[in-house]
Amino acid sequence: MRDPPGTAKQCLSVQISARRDVAAGIFQLETIWPGPAPRAGQFFLIKPRRSACFLGRPISVAEYDPAENRLRFLIAKRGRGTGELAALRPGDEAELTGPLGNRWEDMVPERPRAAGERAALVGGGVGIAPLLALGAELAPGSYDFYGGFKAAPFGLEGLECQDLVTASEEGLGGNQGRISDFFNPAPYRAVYACGPLPLLKAVAAACENSRTPCFISLERPMACGVGACLGCAVATRRGNRRCCIDGPLFPAHEVLFHG
C-alpha cells in the first residue's frame, strides 16, 4: 500500500556528490538521498546548508537510481536561491525536503492503451527535468521525447525513447523554432508536458483539439511546500488547488490558464 502523495517525506542534510555544467546557466547536482524514494513528477525543496535564503527552492527529480539512492537534479540559475545552488560543489552540504507533490504515475489516461500506442513527453528548457525521470520509469521505446530549447539542446543523454525530436529557437540543434510547432498529439495515447507557460498552453490546446489526454507539470513560487501556506494556488475548473500538494502535475483540461 503506497502513501498518499506528499505524505512520506523527510528533511535531511545531504552531501553534494557531483556537480556539472551542462549549458550556459544550467547545471546538474547529484547527491545520495537516504530518505523515502521519490517517483517521477515529484520535487524537493532544496537549499545549501549555509544559506541566506529562509526557504528551499522547489526542484524536480530529474533522475533517481534506487539501487544507489542517487538523486539528480537539472537546474537553471535564475535568482538568489538557484544562484546559491549553482555555487555548491562536491562535498558541500545541502538541505533537502521531500519527496513532495504527486507523481506522473497518478496521471492515468481514461481510455485503455491500444497495442503499440506510445506516450509523448514534451519538455521546454529545464522543463525536461521531470520528463527525464518519467522516461526512466516507462518501458524503453514506449514513448517519444520532444525537447525544445532556446539555444543548443542539453540534458537528453540516456533517453530510451523511440523518436527524439528537438527544436532550438536559435537554430543550434534539431529543428529551428519552437518545439510545439513540430508536435502533433494525435497519434499518442497520452501527452506529458513541462516547461514555460506558452509551451504548455500550445501543447494543451493541440491535445484538446485532437482529444488526446494531456498532463502538465506546473511551476508556482512556493513557500511551505506542504499545503499549509496557500501561496502556490493554481486556478482550475474545480477551484483553486495547491501546486505543492495537489500538483505539481495536473490534467491540462482542468487548468484555467487565464484564471
Ligand X SMILES: Cc1cc2nc3c(=O)[nH]c(=O)nc-3n(C[C@H](O)[C@H](O)[C@H](O)COP(=O)(O)OP(=O)(O)OC[C@H]3O[C@@H](n4cnc5c(N)ncnc54)[C@H](O)[C@@H]3O)c2cc1C
Footprint on this chain of ligand X (rule: CB under 6 A)? 43, 57-60, 73-76, 78-83, 126, 129, 219-222, 243, 248
Instruction: Answer yes or no whether residue 230 interacts with ligand FES by CB under 6 A.
Output: yes
Closest to ligand FES by CB, 103 vs 242, is 242
Least distance (Å) between residue 1 CB and ligand X: 25
Q: How far apart are CA 34 and CA 38, in angstroms?
A: 11
Burial 105-119 (b: 16+ CB within 10 A, else e): eebebeeeeeeeebb
- Residue 230 binding result from ligand X, ligand FES, none, given CB thresholds of 5 to 8 Å by partner type: ligand FES
Number of residues that bind ligand FES (CB under 6 A): 13
Residue range at the interface with ligand FES (CB under 6 A); choices 128-136, 196-204, 236-244, 251-259: 236-244
Q: How far apart are CA 240 and CA 137, in angstroms?
A: 30
- Residue 124 binding result from ligand X, ligand FES, none, given CB thresholds of 5 to 8 Å by partner type: none
Sign for the CA dihedral angle at 207, 208, 214, 219 comes to: positive
Q: How far apart are CA 36 and CA 23, in angstroms?
A: 30
Closest to ligand FES by CB, 228 vs 256, is 228
Closest to ligand X by CB, 74 vs 255, is 74
Least distance (Å) between residue 228 CB and ligand FES: 5
- Residue 76 binding result from ligand FES, ligand X, none, given CB thresholds of 5 to 8 Å by partner type: ligand X
Question: In terms of Cα–Cα distance, which of 177, 179, 38, 60 is closest to 120?
Answer: 179
Sign for the CA dihedral angle at 64, 199, 122, 157 comes to: negative
Question: In terms of Cα–Cα distance, which of 31, 138, 99, 37 is closest to 245?
Answer: 99
Least distance (Å) between residue 52 CB and ligand X: 10
At 191 the three-state DSSP class reads: strand
- Strand pairing report for 10-23 and 26-32: antiparallel
Q: How far apart are CA 77 and CA 24, in angstroms?
A: 9
* Residue written as grid cell 521505446: 141
Least distance (Å) between residue 3 CB and ligand X: 18
Q: What is the contact mask toward ligand FES in residues 158 to 187, using x (rule: CB under 6 A)?
A: ------------------------------
- Residue 80 binding result from ligand X, ligand FES, none, given CB thresholds of 5 to 8 Å by partner type: ligand X
Main-chain dihedrals φ then ψ at residue 222, nearest 5 degrees: -125, 150
Closest to ligand FES by CB, 87 vs 230, is 230
Determine the residue with CB nearest ligand X: 79
Q: How far apart are CA 240 and CA 256, in angstroms?
A: 10
Q: Are 165 and 149 in contact (CB under 8 A)?
A: no
Instruction: Answer yes or no whether residue 231 interacts with ligand FES by CB under 6 A.
Output: yes
Footprint of ligand FES on 199-228 (CB under 6 A) = 222-225, 227-228
Q: Which stretches of the chain bind ligand FES, using CB under 6 A?
A: 222-225, 227-232, 242-244
